[in-house]
Structure formats: C-alpha cells, structure tokens
C-alpha cells in the first residue's frame, strides 16, 4: 500500500507539472516543471523525502533502463542520420570536452574568488576587532 | 506468433532482459566503454533485426517503459534535495559553472553544426545533447528535432563524458572536487554522473546537482532560440 501511495504521489506531481506547463505562454518541458514542483514541495516540507523514497529510489537507480526504447527508436531515423553520423560523433566529442573545460574552470575560478573575498573580509574584521581591542585597552588604562 | 510479439509484455521483458545483460557485461569487462544502456540498445536492435520483428511491436512495450521517464525526471528533485547542504555552501560556483557550461555546450554545438552544414532539423536534434535525456527530448521535440537522434547524441555524449572524465580532470588540472563534479554533470548528465560517483562522494553529488541545474538553464537557453 505504501508503494502504491508513493507512485500515486509522484504521478500526481507529474500531472500537476503537466497542467502548470500547459498554462505557461511558452513551451516548457512538463517533466522539468514536475521536478521544480517536487523540489519546492520538499523545501516547504509538504512532501517528506521518506514519503517517496522507495519509488524515487527505484526510478533513479534504473534510469538508464528507461532510455532503451528511445535508443532503439533510432532505427526509425536511420535515413535522417545517414551521411551525418561522422560529423555528429565529432560534434559530440569536441563539444563535450569543451563544455567540461569551461565548466570546471568557471567553478574553480568562482570558488577561488569567493575565498579571496572571504579572506579580505576576515582580515578587515580582524583589523577592526584589533582596533576595538586597542580602544578597550585605552579605556581600561 | 505476431500476437506474441505484439503484446506490450514482449517489449517490456525484452528491455529488462537486455538491460540485465548489459549490467552483467559491464560487470565482467569492468570498462566504462561497456555502458549497460548502449549494450542493451545494441542487443535489442540486433534481436529485432535478426528475428525480423517489426519495431512497432517492440514499441508497444517500449511506450509503457518510456511513460516512466517524466516521473524519473521529477524525482531528480529528491536527489538534489538530499544534497541541499552542499548546494547551499557552493551555490554560486555551481550555478555559474552550469551556466557557463550550458552556454558553451549550446553555442559550440550550434557553431560546429553550421560548420558541417547540417540541416536545421539535425541542429535542433543535437543541440540539447549535454542534458539528461527526458529534458533533451522535450527541447528537441519542441523545436522540431528528431527525438531518436537526440537520444543517440545524448547517449554518445554521456559515454564520452564517462570514459574521458578522469583523463579530462588530469589534462585540465582540475584539483577542486566540486569543479570536477559540476563539470562532469554539465557535460555528460546521468551517464557521466555514474562515473563521477566512482571518483568520490563530492564529485558524485555535485554532478547530480549539475544534471538538474544545467537542464533547467538549457531549457531557458532553448526558449531564446
């Protein structure tokens, strides 16, 4: 029964996501809308993680399996692919490496920047508290 | 015999069996190249072709399995929620990294496609190839791309990411585990994330968060096109 409730709850969030996506004036993936909705529901604790733990664990663990039919569906579009398989492979490889490099550099750069800003702020705070301490010393004297 | 293959149960069982075979082969070979999804797709295609079973028969069961994709995307929210503390601490670097990576991915795919002189239909089919399949399929479909090609591009990209992640970390001298994780998730979504999890807990968690954040950013970018 617990599993049935979990499935219904997740399906209900997906259905709500579909309804919300349809209301938007621009095309927005309903599954992504459902993801945002579920995240918000978890944040405001209307849904607790343990209320969906079994079914979501099952879906996340077997996510790759769910893509098999779509992958097999490539048989349908072999004609569209013919002649462009090599360029598509090159495009996938080159852009993946490029995306990795830019992302890694950006994350590392921002982390270093944040640390530098934090250090400077701390030094300023230290300087200020030292100054205050000095004043207190004067008062005590 | 046609009735046997036309039952939705045939497609469902074939998928599960092929996936189990893929997992077994991955376990035996212990190579990232032996991706269970890729092996399963290849096995199903080979079986359908050699036994001369029409694709429509298989897809009756396939459609039932595909129906679970939206819920699977939705529950990515719970994996992000589970890592909310890590996300809070590194929120800005994670979001800016995903933003820079997603823009790079979309722009470089677009540029290279134009360079190779591919049709618009193909361009939109591969444009969202760095994000997780359900999101990529929706973006591709909304712009008139061929979703089957999108899935192929997404799977290829995922396998490239999973295979080359350790090499790329070394070549680009990525020392921070958060940077490595976000980069893997942004460039190669869930398949790359499975590799990131083997590299370390932080890498795995950050890669998982990047799937969702980059997916959302890429949806936003696709709206601009």
pLDDT tens by residue, A14-66:
999 999 988 987 767 788 789 889 999 999 999 999 999 999 888 877 877 88
Q: How far is residue B138's CA from residue B198's CA, in Å, rounded to a whole number?
A: 29
Q: Give the predicted TM-score (pTM) of the model.
A: 0.76
Nearest in space to B138 (alpha carbons), one of B70, B39, B196: B70
As given in the structure block, the two tokens for residue B103 are: 């823009």
Judging contacts by C-beta atoms under 8 Å, the chain A residues touching residue B124 are none
The alpha-helical segments, DSSP class H, found in B55-176 are 55-66, 69-74, 76-82, 84-89, 91-115, 120-126, 133-142, 147-171
pLDDT value, residue A133: 47
- Using CB atoms, pick whichever of B62, B139, B174 lies closest to residue A69: B62
Specify the DSSP class assigned to residue A125: H
Q: How far is residue B135's CA from residue A70's CA, in Å, rounded to a whole number?
A: 13
Q: How far is residue A96's CA from residue A107's CA, in Å, rounded to a whole number?
A: 17
Tell me whether residues A29 and B219 touch, CB distance under 8 A.
yes
Tell me whether residues A95 and B105 touch, CB distance under 8 A.
yes
The interaxial angle of helices B201-224 and A30-43, nearest 10 deg, is 130
Nearest in space to B54 (alpha carbons), one of B6, B1, B4: B6
Angle at B47 between CA B41 and CA B52, to 5 degrees: 125
Per-residue pLDDT tens digits of chain B, which is 225 residues long: 778 888 999 999 999 999 999 999 988 987 766 778 888 989 999 999 999 999 999 999 999 998 998 898 888 788 778 878 888 889 999 999 999 999 999 999 999 999 998 888 889 999 999 888 878 988 898 888 888 888 889 888 887 888 788 889 999 999 988 999 999 999 988 778 777 877 877 787 788 888 888 988 998 898 887
As given in the structure block, the two tokens for residue B15 are: 């998928």
Specify the DSSP class assigned to residue A44: T
pLDDT value, residue B169: 94
Q: What is the ipTM of this complex?
A: 0.81
Shortest Cα distance from B179 to chain A (angstroms)? 5
Which helix (H) or strand (E) is B212 found in, with range? Answer: helix B201-224
As given in the structure block, the two tokens for residue B6 are: 């036309």
pLDDT value, residue A137: 45
Q: From A43, which residue of chain B is nearest by alpha-carbon distance?
A: B81
Q: How far is residue B221's CA from residue B209's CA, in Å, rounded to a whole number?
A: 18
Query: Is the Cβ–Cβ distance between B155 and B162 less than 8 Å?
Result: no
Please spell the DSSP secondary structure of B41-84, one letter per residue: HHHHHHHHHHTT--HHHHHHHHHHHHTTHHHHHHTHHHHHHHTH
pLDDT-derived band at A129 (thresholds 50, 70, 90) equals low
Judging contacts by C-beta atoms under 8 Å, the chain A residues touching residue B78 are 38, 42, 49, 52-53, 56, 60
Tell me whether residues A68 and B44 touch, CB distance under 8 A.
yes
Query: Is the Cβ–Cβ distance between B185 and B208 less than 8 Å?
Result: yes
3-class secondary-structure state, position A130: helix
pLDDT-derived band at A91 (thresholds 50, 70, 90) equals very high
Q: Cα–Cα distances in Å, from B40 out to A11, B26, B47, B59? A: 27, 11, 11, 15
pLDDT value, residue A128: 59
The interaxial angle of helices B177-199 and B201-224, nearest 10 deg, is 110
As given in the structure block, the two tokens for residue A11 are: 């399906």
As given in the structure block, the two tokens for residue B108 are: 């470089």
Average pLDDT over residues A95-115: 95
Backbone angles phi, psi at B75, to 5 degrees: -75, -5
Q: From A101, which residue of chain B is nearest by alpha-carbon distance?
A: B172
Query: Is the Cβ–Cβ distance between A31 and B69 less than 8 Å?
Result: yes
Judging contacts by C-beta atoms under 8 Å, the chain B residues touching residue A104 are 97, 168-169, 172, 174, 179-180, 182-183
As given in the structure block, the two tokens for residue A31 are: 């599954």
């Amino acid at each position: 029964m617990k599993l049935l409730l979990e499935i219904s709850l997740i399906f209900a969030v997906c259905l709500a996501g579909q309804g919300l996506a349809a209301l938007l004036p621009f095309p927005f993936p309903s599954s992504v809308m459902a993801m945002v909705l579920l995240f918000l529901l978890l944040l405001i604790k209307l849904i607790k993680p343990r209320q969906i733990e079994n079914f979501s664990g099952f879906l996340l663990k077997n996510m790759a399996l769910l893509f098999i039919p779509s992958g097999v569906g490539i048989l349908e579009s072999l004609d569209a692919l013919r002649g462009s398989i090599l360029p598509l492979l090159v495009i996938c490889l080159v852009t993946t490496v490029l995306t990795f490099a830019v992302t890694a550099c950006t994350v590392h750069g921002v982390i270093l920047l944040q640390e530098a800003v934090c250090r400077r702020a701390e030094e300023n705070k230290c300087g200020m508290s030292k100054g205050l301490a000095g004043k207190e010393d004067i008062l005590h004297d | 015999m046609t009735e046997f293959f036309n039952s939705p149960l045939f497609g469902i069982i074939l998928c599960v069996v092929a996936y189990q075979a893929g997992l077994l082969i991955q376990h035996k070979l212990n190579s990232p190249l032996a991706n269970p999804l890729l092996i399963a797709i290849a096995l199903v295609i080979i079986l359908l072709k050699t036994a001369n079973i029409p694709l429509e028969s298989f897809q009756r069961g396939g459609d039932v399995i595909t129906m679970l994709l939206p819920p699977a995307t939705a529950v990515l929210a719970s994996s992000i929620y589970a890592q909310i503390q890590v996300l809070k601490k590194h929120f800005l670097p994670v979001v800016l990294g995903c933003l820079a990576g997603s823009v790079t991915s979309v722009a470089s795919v677009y540029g290279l496609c134009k360079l190779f002189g591919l049709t618009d239909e193909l361009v939109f089919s591969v444009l969202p190839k760095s994000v997780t399949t359900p999101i990529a399929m929706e973006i591709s479909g909304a712009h008139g791309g061929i979703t089957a090609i999108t899935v192929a591009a997404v799977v290829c990209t995922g396998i490239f990411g999973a295979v080359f992640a350790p090499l790329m970390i070394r070549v680009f001298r990525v020392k921070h585990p958060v940077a490595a994780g976000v980069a893997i998730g942004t460039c190669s979504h869930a398949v790359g994330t499975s590799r990131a999890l083997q590299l370390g807990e932080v890498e795995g968690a950050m890669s998982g968060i990047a799937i969702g954040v980059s997916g959302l950013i890429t949806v936003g970018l696709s709206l601009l096109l």
